[in-house]
A and B are shown apart, each in its own frame.
Chain A
Amino acid sequence: MAYKIIEGCVNCWACLPLCPSEAIRDALPHFTIDARACTECEGDFADPQCASICPIEGVILDSLGVPLNPPGSLTGIPPDRWAEIRTQIQAR
């Protein structure tokens, strides 16, 4: 039972001070979660704190590898719109 931060994290520091288990490290190139320390906030908070403040979609995964904040959930930008813009930009 532990969460994971993956590539895409912008090192914004929002999650680190909130973690009740001091499981988050300000590592480079992006922050990481110490799997041994992470409790998924069980017993401390109803919602996992890191995933509740992280502004970037898809960068925090649960133990099954599923994003806690899937694409579109935070920004309201539909994933297909993202895909379309990305294609446009890459075609430049």
Chain B
Amino acid sequence: MELKVIAEAAGAPGGGCASSGCGAGGDKLAHLPEAIRAKINNHPCFSEDAHHHYARMHVAVAPACNIQCHYCNRKYDCSNESRPGVVSEVLTPDQAVKKVIAVAAAIPQMTVLGIAGPGDPLANPQRTLETFRQLSEKAPDIKLCVSTNGLALPELVDEICKHNIEHVTITINCVDPDVGAKIYPWIFWNNRRVTGRKAAEILIAQQQKGLEMLVARGVLVKVNSVLIPGVNAEHLKEVSRVVKAKGAFLHNVMPLIAEPEHGTFFGLMGQRGPTNDELSALQDACAGDMAMMRHCRQCRADAVGMLGEDRGDEFTLDKIAEQEVDYAAAMARRAEVHAAIEASRTAQRRQSSETFVSIASLTRRRPARPEPRPVLMAVASTGGGVINQHFGHAREFLVYEASANDVRFVGHRKVDLYCSGDETCGDGESVLAKTIRVLDGCEVVLCSRIGYEPWGQLEAAGIAPNGEHAMEPIEDAIAVVYREMGEAGLLEPAAGATQRMSA
């Protein structure tokens, strides 16, 4: 469940904070009421900046599902609300509550608990709601959220509101039943299995109704869509328009993951996933005046920790069995840690705005020149909003676009998960070769350190490795590197062709 944020606010394409690097997810949603921004300020899934600082966890209490998606194989896991791969243990509500308490005590950055499957949490209403009920009592400072395919949503909206859930994610892949029929082979509805177009029609109607009901009750709704080339790629622009019009505050377009070994219909039938370029292009097209989330990690349904890391192994049932947790002390400690994080975010924001003034002045000083071209840079970071990871340890890279006016987060790329969809995507490929392919289009990679061999290979591939900005705030460092590239004459519009790898 993926989960997470933001682009341009209405009327400020590429501008405002998204670009200025003020670093506040909330500010990028400047068109939203204060109350909503306050709700997402420390939500790692909804605020692109918050995900550098705060942690979340999922508990897998909901194994049953009431529909079938062609990108899911329940023999393994849900590839949509969670990353494909086995959920290591399905928990009872009591076990889940125990785990959440243990994790929230051990990882004080934790702000959010989500239930996202492995099936559909609302197809398991007793298990899901019981977990929420206990948690809202025992850990009242943890935000609760839930992901759903929407089929059972309308009938459960009242229950959901009762448990004080602030955020709901609905996966909506289409608003046209003809498109839906290509994604959903069947649903379970009114005690029978319904197939084909009729099934999609019912599901779509329920999703839209559920969305409207939640918005009417003031619950924040994020919409996830899985981008399936040739099936709903064009159609997602329409989906984005519709859900935005109905009050969803965030739209997260995620790439289809379809490998034959996952055993899904799409995987086995050879349906390809989107390339990085197709995904960004669609995210840009959907952005418009709607916040788009670009830092979604398609996490597992039992993920624990900061986005992009998974500390689930530290908290298996047997490991937490003997732990006694002092709730009150843990909550006090969380409050302290969160206050410290907020103080450092504010400080970073202040610094960044200074840096950004200087970039803008760089262009102003040279009015005769054509505007320097934008450059994509990749960053290895384990969190905290700083460059702090060894190149060779990175399992994913954050990708930013630096341009004359701003530094903008455009997404992340996983080294071990995404297939860019081309022919070279084979098993024999070395991790380094794969990483280089994943970084296609980036001209610089910033990391804390990098080995000699990868250094040479990256350079050979036209990507400049850079370890000079270790422990510096990401956006500031990118701004500096971009300015240096300008000074070295690397930003002439024509230089792009030779700098980039062949796409």
Chain A contact residues, CB within 8 Å of chain B: 10-14, 17-18, 45-47, 49, 52-53, 55-56, 74-77, 81-82, 85, 89
Contact = CB atoms under 8 A, between A and B. Distances in A.
Contact of B74 (A12, A52, A77, A81): A12
Interface stretch (B58-66, B136-144, B413-421): B58-66
A14 to B, nearest CB: 4
B280 interface: no
Given A46-B192, A47-B191, A85-B260, A74 B186 contact: yes
Chain B: number of interface residues, binned into ranges: 20 to 34
B63 A52 contact: no
B149 to A, nearest CB: 13
A17 B191 CA distance: 12
Nearest to B120: A14
B65 A14 contact: yes
A14 B63 CA distance: 8
Given A12-B74, A81-B269, 15 more contacts: A11-B90, A14-B65, A14-B66, A14-B119, A18-B191, A46-B191, A47-B191, A47-B193, A49-B191, A52-B188, A52-B192, A55-B68, A55-B74, A75-B265, A85-B260
A14 B185 CA distance: 17
Interface string B159-191: 000000000000000000000000001101001
Contacts of A81: 268-269
Contacts of B74: 10, 12, 55-56
Contact of A77 (B126, B191, B265): B265
B429 interface: no
Nearest to A51: B193
Contacts of A74: 68, 185-186
Contacts of A85: 260, 268
Interface of B: 63-66, 68, 70, 74-75, 90, 119, 123-124, 126, 185-186, 188, 191-193, 260-261, 265, 268-269
Contacts of B70: 76
Nearest to A81: B268
A53 B188 contact: yes
B65 A55 contact: yes
Contacts of B269: 77, 81
17 contacts: A11-B63, A11-B90, A12-B63, A13-B63, A14-B63, A14-B123, A18-B191, A52-B192, A53-B64, A53-B66, A53-B188, A55-B65, A56-B75, A74-B68, A75-B68, A82-B268, A85-B268
A45 B188 CA distance: 13
Nearest to A88: B260
B193 A52 contact: yes
Nearest to A89: B261
Contacts of A76: 70, 185, 265
A10 B75 contact: yes
Contacts of A55: 65, 68, 74
B191 to A, nearest CB: 5
A86 to B, nearest CB: 10
Contacts of B123: 14
Contact of B64 (A14, A45, A56): A14
Contacts of A14: 63-66, 119, 123, 188
A47 B192 contact: yes
A52 B65 CA distance: 12
A13 B191 contact: no
A84 to B, nearest CB: 9
Nearest to A12: B63
B109 to A, nearest CB: 32
A10 B78 CA distance: 13
Closest 8 CB pairs of A and B: A14-B64, A53-B188, A52-B193, A13-B64, A47-B192, A12-B63, A55-B74, A13-B63
A48 to B, nearest CB: 10
A56 B119 CA distance: 13
